């Protein structure tokens, strides 16, 4: 999970530096909603700590996917003063 975290943190920094915080907010809300649903499911089904770690892995993978799509699209890259 740590290499994925590194990529997420790097993309976070790039997009924060580009003032793309609105997208970061919505992507984190979407990933958090998925995490909460999976964590609740893990709790309800008695998966224990393994279920929580799976939910965390899905959170990070979802964040990476959403941030990678935004970064590849280059919509965040604003040149000059807007």
Domain boundaries, the chain: 2-73
Q: Give pLDDT, residue 82.
A: 58
Please write down the HEC assignment for all residues of 9-70.
HHHHHHHHHCCCHHHHHHHHHHHHHHHHHHHHHHHHHCCHHHHHHHHHHHHHHHHHHHHHHH
pLDDT in tens, 47-63: 999 999 999 999 999 99
Poorest-pLDDT segment among 8-12, 48-52, 72-76, 78-82: 78-82
């Amino acid at each position: 999970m740590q290499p994925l975290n590194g990529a997420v943190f790097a993309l976070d920094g790039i997009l924060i530096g580009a003032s793309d915080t609105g997208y970061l907010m919505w992507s984190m809300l979407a990933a958090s909603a998925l995490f909460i649903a999976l964590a609740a499911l893990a709790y309800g089904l008695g998966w224990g700590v393994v279920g929580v770690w799976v939910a965390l892995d899905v959170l990070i993978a979802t964040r990476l996917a959403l941030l990678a799509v935004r970064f590849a699209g280059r919509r965040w890259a604003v040149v000059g003063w807007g």
